[in-house]
Amino acid sequence: MMPNYAPAPIVPVLGRGSRVWDQAGREYIDLAGGIAVNVLGHAHPELVEVLHDQAQRLWHLSNAYTNEPALDLARKLVDLTFADRVFFSNSGGEANEAALKLARRYAHDRHGPDKAEIIAFDQAFHGRTLFTVTVGGQPKYSDGFGPKPGDITHVPFNDADALGDAMSDRVCAVMIEPIQGEGGLIAADPAFLQRARALCDAHEALLIFDEIQSGMGRTGDLYAYQGYGVTPDILTTAKGLGGGFPVAATLTTEEIASCFVVGTHGSTFGGNPLATAVAGRVLDIVSRPEFLDAVKAKADEAFTRLRALAADTGAFSDVRGKGLWIGCEIDASTGWGSKELTDRVLEYGAMTLKAGPDVLRLAPALNIEDDELATGLDRVEQAVRSLVA
Ligand code: PLP
């Protein structure tokens, strides 16, 4: 494979719940959820069953035909959110690409070609296509690939005045992660999102929420916007949607969707029956109120332990996030970064994630068992203490 990844030295071969085993039979607790994806852990029996069942019926017929699992998933997403219409694709980057094209097309059709500016935020992450990487606010991911798509402006995240100064009637969309994931687990202030909503309304721009990482119960709400009480015009969802099976969706209103007329956009695999059958079952499970309540309870436990560890060792200057999505900012005095810490945690038998150079990120399965969570956090603690010592 090309050298664009730096895989860990171990090769996982089996996963059950929140436990994973490598080729040597060594066990790990998965506190990463893949990469904030496996919301129901590994090999969840209901997902295995639905995938197996669908695999025996129908895999692919292209979007020249619709299919029952896709219709069913679209209906569920519409019933559970603000949206009236859904476009299916296969990854977060594609869902965002569709959202951005939709916003541009809507503005073009309603207001003319000059209304094309997109406002996005420093440190944002929206995917790896050339458009989404340019809208993302991390030049290290977009530099060096030739001419970038134009008319994209970045302002500091959570700075409502900067957003206000940047807004004009030329803006067609403002794209926000309600909680920046890759950027270091930075939550939007409620007042910032409210102001963004008001500014979009005043300038007839569309508010796009990228909920690819924050959605599907990660924060304890099905979608983070529901906890904030600020409703976007377009929402993107992927990662947890398929519980590990690749699937993504772009959600919007009837009015906005109406400009995606036949032929304007498409995807060979988007909305295929295997992916949508699995996602339908994931959504059934994750959207139950008692499931989301349990996420909050598990999160309280994890936050309490990690904050105690921070107070005791001084390793973390901040432990932040929402739900089972936790960022531990490594104190500068330690001299270590997130790579060093995630490597050490793996040696101690737990999988975790980085969120930038100095934030350790946890995004475990939302149904992680209490004993798995406790054991995983024990291992994180042992790793931290071994570095502090
Ligand atoms: N948007 C956000 C907020 C993400 O966190 C990610 C992935 O980390 C993406 C978009 C891109 O998703 P994918 O890697 O599935 O294209």
Q: How many CB atoms lie within 10 A of CB 26?
A: 11
Q: Compute, in angstroms, the gap from residue 117 CA to the centroid of ligand 1.
A: 22
Q: Compute, in angstroms, the gap from residue 385 CA to the centroid of ligand 1.
A: 32
pLDDT at 32: 98
Q: Compute, in angstroms, the gap from residue 129 CA to the centroid of ligand 1.
A: 10
pLDDT at 379: 98
The closest-lying atom of ligand 1 relative to the alpha carbon of residue 124 is 3
pLDDT at 12: 98
Query: Which letter does DSSP use for residue 297 in this model?
Result: H
- The predicted-structure confidence for 354-367, as pLDDT tens digits, reads as follows 999 999 999 999 99
pLDDT at 389: 81
pLDDT at 53: 98
> 210 in the Ramachandran plot: left (φ > 0), alpha (ψ -120 to 50) or beta?
beta
Residue reference for tokens 């794209």: 175
CA of 261: how far to CAs of 10, 102, 232, 249, 266, in Å?
47, 11, 21, 17, 11
Residue nearest ligand 1's atom 1 by CA: 126
Query: Which letter does DSSP use for residue 245 in this model?
Result: B
What parts of the chain have a pLDDT lower than 70? none
Q: Compute, in angstroms, the gap from residue 239 CA to the centroid of ligand 1.
A: 7
The pocket around ligand 1, CB under 6 angstroms, is made up of 91-93, 96, 125-127, 177, 181-182, 210, 212-213, 238
Q: Compute, in angstroms, the gap from residue 25 CA to the centroid of ligand 1.
A: 31
The closest-lying atom of ligand 1 relative to the alpha carbon of residue 132 is 10
Q: What is the strand order of the sheet 248-252 is part of?
A: 85-89, 248-252, 234-237, 206-210, 171-176, 117-121, 152-155
CA 327 to chain centre: 14
**SS percent in the chain: helix, strand, coil, step 5:** 40, 20, 40
Q: Compute, in angstroms, the gap from residue 135 CA to the centroid of ligand 1.
A: 12
Residue nearest ligand 1's atom 5 by CA: 213
Query: Which letter does DSSP use for residue 314 in this model?
Result: -
Could you please report the per-residue DSSP string of 112-154?
Answer: -TT--EEEEETT----SSHHHHHHSS-HHHHTTSSSPPSSEEE
Whether 331 and 315 have beta carbons less than 8 Å apart is answered as yes
The closest-lying atom of ligand 1 relative to the alpha carbon of residue 128 is 16
pTM above 0.85, yes or no: yes
The closest-lying atom of ligand 1 relative to the alpha carbon of residue 214 is 3
